[in-house]
Amino acid sequence: MPLIISISGVRGLVPDSLTPEVCLDLAKAFGTYLNGGKVVVGIDPRKSSETIKEIIFSGLLSTGCKVVDLGIAPTPTVGIMTKALEAAGGIIVTASHNPLPWNGLKFLRGDGVFLNETEANEFLKIYKGKQFRQAAGQGIAIDQTGIDFHINRVLKAIGGAAAVEKARFKVAYDGCNGAGSVAMVKFLEMLGCTIYAINCDTNLPFPHNPEPVAENLGELMGLVKSKKANIGFAVDSDADRLAIVSNEGKAIGEELTLALAAKYVLSGKNKSIVVVNLSTSQVLDDVCREFGATLVRTKVGEVNVTEQINSLGALIGGEGNGGVIFPQVGYNRDSLSGAGLVLSLMAAKKKSISQLVAELPHYEMIKTKVECASQAEANAFVEKTKEKFRGSDLVLTEGVKVVTPEGWVHVRPSNTEPIIRIIAEAKDQKSARALVDQVIA
């Protein structure tokens, strides 16, 4: 598997493609791109993360940077601290939801937002050109305040902390031994919850694949049932994605995390704006309609959503994969914000999570992909799809999204591999399947 370089960062297998040399050059390129300055660094607890951290410190120092070492920290914590410490940029060492032996690097600008396409291209040009800045390093400062800073900000921003505390929720949590192991437990404690935590030891390897989808949440579902918990939470290895298990012990599907969080944030507000990507569930359209809010859809990629949130002054946004972006806290997908908002909704409505889920419209989503021989073939596939659905309601922001009375199907070429991603959603499995079949036929 070759190194995957994309707008959302760099990922590879350790030690085959994400080699020490690659990590060193990426750090030198980032230090050069930033012209020196302060860089905040956090890692997930993979064994290779600590080594990669030491390597990127060397690279950053050799270009004249000052390094702030947050240690093990969720991606949203690094984003918030990058901005709060007025740094020039930030780096997170993580392969997010990918299992071992993957690792990777995510790059943030000074405001804590991921590099956008233009910025990423400029940075990668420096990486490929290998002409790096040389200057005296400004040292390494250890900062252990990140997680507390982050937690306090969420507690203030959600507005429902007092009600949650009063509700005395019983919460089950699977940290997957990842970067959210300490932060989420501490956060839930401060909200007065009784916590049944599993897999929160960052010295141990991941107990299961870190992607928080239903097939990886079996242990958590069992825990919710055996402890009669009000809700179960799970996160990926860098704790930016949040999945929910209901009080009945069912994984409710990551698409609903943002819908529930948005429901709480929009309640009682007028003419709000919500931003999601093109492939996020239409349940967000329904939630926005309920509160008279406007839903804006962007290209896929966290930075595209964040930049729209900022420019439109949106109250909340994110992605259907459990990624809640709550700008009052920070500009990254944040599992703490997600958990705090969903608990606030439960407390405010005095309803169980399964009742709240039952009140949302139900959709079925199918995600699949088609391998192509080349990028050109992938592009041709998109063109053919446009042709096929001519006369239908087409959204051409990225690839093509066909909106029909039954649902929608989004067809887009991947940024990193010669494949076409196809996502369809409809009221039932059969209709969603029919949309996919129409595209592939």
Closest residue to Mg ion, based on beta-carbon distance: 96
C-beta atoms surrounding 43 within 10 Å: 27
Interface residues with Mg ion (CB under 5 A) are 96, 236, 238, 240
What separation in angstroms does the CA of 243 have from each of 147, 258, 295, 362? 20, 10, 22, 17
State the alpha helices, DSSP H only, in 67-116.
75-84
State the alpha helices, DSSP H only, in 214-325.
218-227, 255-266, 283-290, 302-312
Inter-residue contact 169 to 348 (CB < 8 Å) = no
The 3-state DSSP class for residue 249 equals coil
Residue 392 tokens read as 């239908």
Q: For residues 293, 299, 303 and 307, what is the CA-based torsion angle, rounded to 10 degrees?
A: -50
Residue 280 CA to residue 296 CA, distance in Å, equals 11
Query: Closer CB to Mg ion, residue 25 or residue 319?
Result: 319
For residue 238, the minimal CB distance to Mg ion (Å) is: 4
Residue of 8, 49, 62, 96 marked active site: 96
Confirm whether 48 is a catalytic residue.
Answer: no
Query: Closer CB to Mg ion, residue 236 or residue 425?
Result: 236
Inter-residue contact 39 to 65 (CB < 8 Å) = yes
Residue 307 tokens read as 């930049």
Residues 6+ apart with CB under 8 A from 428: 364
Residue 273 tokens read as 């704006």
For residue 162, the minimal CB distance to Mg ion (Å) is: 30
Which residues are catalytic, by number? 96
